Amino acid sequence: MPLKRNTERVTTSAQSVARAEYQNWAVYAGLVLTTFLWGLAWPVGRLLATNLPPVSIATIRYAIVVPVLFAILWFREGSFKINRSWIPTLVVMGILNTTLYQIFFLYGVKYAAASDDSLVIGIGPVLIAVMASLILKERVAGTKILGFASGLAGIIIISILSPNTQVLNRPLGVTLVFGGATAYALYTVILRSFFSRNRADNHGPQQSSLSILSWISLFGWLFLIPFSLLESPWTYTWDAGSWLGILYLAILSTVVGYFLYIEGVSKIGAGRSGIFGNLVPVFGVLTSFLLLGENLSPWTAASFLLIFAGVLLVNRQVKNSGS
């Protein structure tokens, strides 16, 4: 009997390990799919922004995203309630994450190649690390300064030596995308601080990430609308391809991508999930090459490697001298 029980325990343990490994691989596959969806958004955005008003594209995109997010929020939590004292912070985050980022993103792909722009956005983790150090009054390590310099060098290379010369204004487009990465980095730092304060306040209401994202998206979308009206979007031709592209950005890139990423964070942690974000520029370059016929060169690889090295440097854990 003891031998039989031990055998059953070993079998159960092996099954549990196998199940956990299978679940992890499913999470990894979901995160790879997420980065592919986000990478593909760059050529799709360029296809749309080439002949259509950029801010209006973003406005229509979030006119779809916001109701879908709130519908999911109601289905999962049965409430839209939000702490009124949080509204000013949520408005600021909405302007950074939705209004400014979308404007920079779509005007960026209008003026420069999608593959070049998708490389530039890879500097996001570098900007987040440096900005967190500055805003949160942390000591700025030498590795972070070196990482920022490396990432910036990668952007300069693709701005000057990109093989994609048949664009409206590459330096302007790349600069706009860098502005978008900066806006998103600032949003991320504010969001982290917001969640930290919220968790520290044990007596206050605890809001889910879905609820926070829904309200941020709503406030950011509201600020997009007046800028969209200035573009007179009703004077443009919106064909079936345009609507398919916008639906892709709204449903697959935004909603599905968000939920797959949150699933990954909940299962394997933010640190390990964040590593997959380095695939976004790779998929952005490859899909732009395949769909738009954009050019690749050794300078494209050099730019990616410098930006990727910057990400590694700013996230390097510096050991204490006494350890």
Under 8 Å CB-to-CB from 67, ≥6 apart: which residues? none
- Mean pLDDT lowest for which of 67-76, 79-88, 253-262, 310-319? 310-319
For the chain, what's the residue count? 323
Domain region containing 167: 29-232+245-314
**Is residue 233 scored above 50 in pLDDT?**
yes
Is 322 within a domain? no
Residue 174, pLDDT score: 95
- Indicate whether 178 pLDDT > 70: yes
The pLDDT of 53-71, averaged and rounded, is 98
Q: What is residue 17's predicted lDDT score, i.e. its pLDDT?
A: 46
| CA distances, 87 to each of 31, 134, 197, 206 (Å) | 31, 25, 14, 15
Whether the per-residue pLDDT at 278 is higher than 90: the answer is no
Kindly state whether residue 15 falls inside one of the protein's structural domains. no
Q: What is the pLDDT of residue 291?
A: 95
Checking if the pLDDT of 262 tops 70, the result is yes
- CA distances to 75, 124, 150, 284, 300 from 310, rounded to whole Å, are 41, 10, 5, 19, 16
Mean pLDDT computed over 289-304:
95
125-171 confidence digits (pLDDT tens): 888 888 887 777 666 677 888 988 999 999 999 999 999 999 999 99
Distance of CA 320 to the CA centre of its chain: 32
pLDDT band at 319 (very low <50, low <70, confident <90, very high): very low
Q: Does residue 11 lie within any of the structural domains? A: no
311 pLDDT more than 90: no
Given pLDDT bands bounded at 50, 70 and 90, which one contains residue 5? low
Q: In which band, very low, low, confident or very high, does the pLDDT at 321 lie, cut at 50, 70 and 90?
A: very low
Question: What pLDDT is stored for residue 121 in this prediction?
Answer: 92
Amino acid at 66: V
What is the pLDDT averaged over residues 240-248?
97
* CB count in 10 Å sphere of residue 24: 14
CA dihedral 99, 108, 262, 23 (to 10 degrees): 170
Mean pLDDT of the 179-186 span: 94
**CB neighbours (10 Å) of residue 58?**
29
What is residue 288's three-state secondary structure?
Answer: helix
Comparing 51-65, 110-124, 251-265, 272-286, which segment has the lowest mean pLDDT? 272-286
Radius of gyration of the chain (CA): 22
Of the CA atoms within 13 Å of residue 158, those in its CB half-sphere come to: 35
- How many structural domains are present in the chain? 1
Please compute the mean of the pLDDT values over residues 243-248 and round it to a whole number: 98
Within-domain flag for 122:
yes
State pTM to two decimals. 0.86
Structure tokens at 284: 């952005």
| In-domain check, residue 319 | no
pLDDT digits (tens, 9 = 90+) for 201-229: 655 556 788 999 999 999 999 999 999 99
- Are the C-beta atoms of 236 and 54 separated by less than 8 Å? no
Percent of the chain residues topping a pLDDT of 90: 62
Contact 122, 307 (CB under 8 A): yes
* Contact in structure between 114 and 49 (CB atoms under 8 Å): no
**What pLDDT score does 323 carry?**
34
Does residue 190 fall inside a structural domain? yes
- At 198, the pLDDT band (50, 70, 90 cuts) reads confident
- Taking the C-alpha atoms of residue 87 and residue 149, their distance in angstroms, rounded to an integer, is 36
Q: Is residue 42 part of a domain?
A: yes
Residue-averaged pLDDT of the chain? 87
167, part of any domain: yes
